[in-house]
């Protein structure tokens, strides 16, 4: 076996010997020549959620300097949108207690979009004082999950967030909206499309610029992704307002992302190393790994602007800091290959 580019005649993406996607354009030509992938975008925006959604549920709480290393390393690797922390009461999410330090000390680049989760006006005020120009609000499509998570019904949560979004927009900040439990709720099971539409429409009406549709407990499957996405698009929601956020609990995240891409979705949330979970969703595992997503997209000829080698080196260090093996499949393959050839990651 050599390190020269190889091409396969069986429909697989061309790759190098170590598994890195080839960059000779062959994959893009195949994609453009197939009606199955005719709506797939040429470029996808990776929205990195590891520093917040990824770390909030880890047993080991990383020191602030390590978190900053993760954020700035991801940016160095080409990530241009990153959620860095959550301005939530530390009693509820102890891992995010250093939110003010993170937001104040991070080395911002003008071309990078930094965001922070805010649960209420107090959190918004803290984010504003720390210099954040984008914030995110978060609620589920189901009443039970909202009660468990934020101690409010869906209607009450929407009223709270209306005040938050109004104030954020008045301060010149952008607001992103997370809708969780879109494809299944740990307490209510299957979620009706009407419930999802209600929350989505309400957030957009407030002025949220983008909806991140979350598979909080990782139960979604490809046809379900198609059904929900097309239902929202048919109701008048613009394709550019939709992002997808999958947890890989049952191993379907990449398949679900592929369906979203086939529908034309251009923004994918992911967490470096496959970090994450939800403290209010028993059994939920980590987000889909950023390096797994980037590898797949590059193999499909889709631009991400991300340097995969630099990204995976961050994941390798992160696993050491957390004292556990991270679930990223690309990371495991990369470490295995590096060990075989005697390369230090």
- Which has the closest alpha carbon to 50: 284, 276, 315? 276
Cα separation, 241 vs 208, whole angstroms: 9
Asked if residue 237 lies in contact with residue 200, where contact means CB atoms within 8 angstroms, the answer is yes
Six-digit token pair at 305? 């602007």
The phi, psi pair for 178, rounded to 5°, reads -100, 130
The CA–CA distances, whole Å, from 247 to 56, 136, 254 equal 14, 19, 10
Asked if residue 142 lies in contact with residue 149, where contact means CB atoms within 8 angstroms, the answer is no
| From 278, 284, 293, 331, the catalytic residue | 278
H or E element that contains 344: none
The CA–CA distances, whole Å, from 136 to 34, 37, 265, 314, 345 equal 37, 31, 20, 25, 34
Give the length of the chain.
345
- Which has the closest alpha carbon to 270: 250, 246, 306? 246
**Which 3 state secondary structure label does DSSP give 314?**
helix
278 among known catalytic residues: yes
Q: Directed axis angle between helix 154-170 and helix 143-150, to 10°?
A: 60
Locate all alpha helices (DSSP H) within the chain, ordered by sequence. Answer: 26-32, 64-76, 99-105, 121-129, 143-150, 154-170, 193-206, 222-234, 253-262, 290-299, 308-322, 329-341
Tokens 């120009």 belong to: 133
Burial class (CB in 10 A: 0-12, 13-18, 19+), 241: middle
Which positions are annotated as active-site residues? 278
């Amino acid at each position: 076996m050599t390190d020269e580019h190889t091409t396969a005649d069986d429909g697989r993406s061309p790759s190098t010997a170590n598994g890195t996607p080839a960059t000779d354009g062959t994959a893009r030509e195949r994609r453009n020549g197939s009606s199955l992938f005719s709506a797939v975008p040429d470029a996808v925006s990776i929205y990195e959620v590891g520093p917040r959604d990824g770390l909030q549920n880890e047993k080991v709480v990383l020191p602030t300097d390590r978190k900053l290393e993760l954020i700035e390393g991801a940016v160095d690797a080409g990530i241009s949108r990153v959620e860095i922390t959550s301005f939530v009461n530390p009693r509820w999410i102890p891992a995010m207690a250093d939110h003010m330090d993170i937001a104040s000390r991070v080395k911002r680049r003008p071309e990078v979009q930094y965001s922070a989760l805010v649960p209420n006006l107090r959190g918004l005020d803290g984010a504003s004082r720390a210099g954040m120009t984008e914030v995110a609000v978060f609620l589920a499509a189901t009443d039970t999950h909202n009660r468990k998570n934020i101690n409010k019904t869906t209607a009450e949560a929407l009223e709270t967030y209306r005040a938050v979004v109004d104030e954020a927009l008045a301060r010149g900040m952008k607001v992103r909206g997370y809708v969780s439990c879109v494809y299944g709720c740990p307490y209510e099971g299957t979620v009706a499309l009407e419930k999802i539409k209600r929350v989505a429409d309400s957030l957009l009406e407030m002025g949220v610029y983008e909806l991140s549709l979350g598979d909080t407990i990782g139960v979604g499957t490809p046809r379900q992704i198609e059904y929900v996405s097309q239902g929202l698009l048919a109701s008048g929601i613009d394709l550019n307002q939709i992002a997808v956020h999958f947890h890989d609990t049952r191993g379907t995240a990449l398949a679900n992302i592929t369906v979203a891409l086939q529908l034309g979705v251009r923004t994918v949330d992911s967490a470096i190393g496959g970090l994450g979970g939800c403290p209010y969703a028993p059994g939920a595992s980590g987000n889909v790994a950023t390096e797994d997503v980037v590898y797949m997209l590059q193999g499909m000829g889709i631009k991400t602007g991300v340097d995969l080698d630099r990204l995976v080196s961050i994941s390798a260090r992160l696993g050491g800091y957390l004292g556990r093996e991270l679930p990223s499949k690309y990371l495991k393959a990369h470490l295995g290959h590096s060990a075989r050839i005697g390369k230090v990651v």
